[in-house]
Homo-oligomer: A and B are copies of this chain.
Amino acid sequence: MVYFCVVKEDKNISKAERTRQFIIEKTAPIFNKKGYAGTSLSDITEATGLTKGSIYGNFADKDEVALAAFDYNIARMRAVTSAEMAKHNTAREQLLAYVEVYGNYMKYSFQTGGCPIMNTTVDADDTHPVLKSKVCQVMMAWKDRVAGLIEKGIANKEFKKDTDSEQTALTLFAMIEGAILINQATGRLDYRKKVLQSAEKLIKDL
């Protein structure tokens, strides 16, 4: 299990930095659930137990909270997947671990309302250009990370050498996100499992 800094007691960092972090931790799941427009300042004050004065003493505006919350959610996802992938050695096992962890993200990330990449893409598209560019960067980074892993596997002769690493990475990403979406819409865990099975088959056939 990966733990995240509950920073409230750390005396080496300033009070401001501590509450800033505290606010981010408490609001990140709310932004993920309700979206940017759907999350109000009263949601933020309610979740933190702080007042508006305190929030605006640590952040310039709601935007800054939302952006920090997004970064936090992504960092969490990355930490969890990295930790799980690090337990394996071969590229194939690492890819399978990636699908396992990411696809079952909800299990690992205590009910935060689905994948932040998907949520933010849908939420920020057409409405919030800054957040949109952030989510674009993150998605590209994911793709490159997985594609790099596949290329490592090709170099290691684990995978067929005619594999299109980018296409495979994108397809895996699509399948995982699609699996999460289906699960979110229907509540059917077995549906998600079926799609992830297909993703695993794809990896095994590489």
Contacts and interface: CB of A to CB of B under 8 A. Distances in A.
Given A37-B35, A38-B37, A113-B125, A174 B187 contact: no
A67 interface: no
A35 B132 CA distance: 15
B139 A186 contact: yes
A119 B187 CA distance: 16
Interface string A104-142: 000000000110011101110111000010011001100
Nearest to A126: B33
Contact of A194 (B35, B166, B177, B178): B166
Interface of A: 33-35, 37-38, 113-114, 117-119, 121-123, 125-127, 132, 135-136, 139-140, 143, 164, 166-167, 170-171, 173-179, 181-182, 184-187, 191, 194-195, 197-198
Give the 5 A-B CB pairs with smallest separation, nearest first: A174-B178, A171-B198, A122-B122, A37-B38, A178-B178
27 contacts: A33-B126, A33-B127, A34-B37, A34-B127, A35-B35, A37-B37, A37-B38, A113-B125, A114-B122, A117-B185, A119-B122, A121-B185, A132-B185, A136-B186, A140-B186, A167-B194, A167-B195, A170-B182, A170-B191, A170-B194, A170-B195, A171-B175, A171-B198, A174-B179, A177-B178, A178-B181, A181-B181
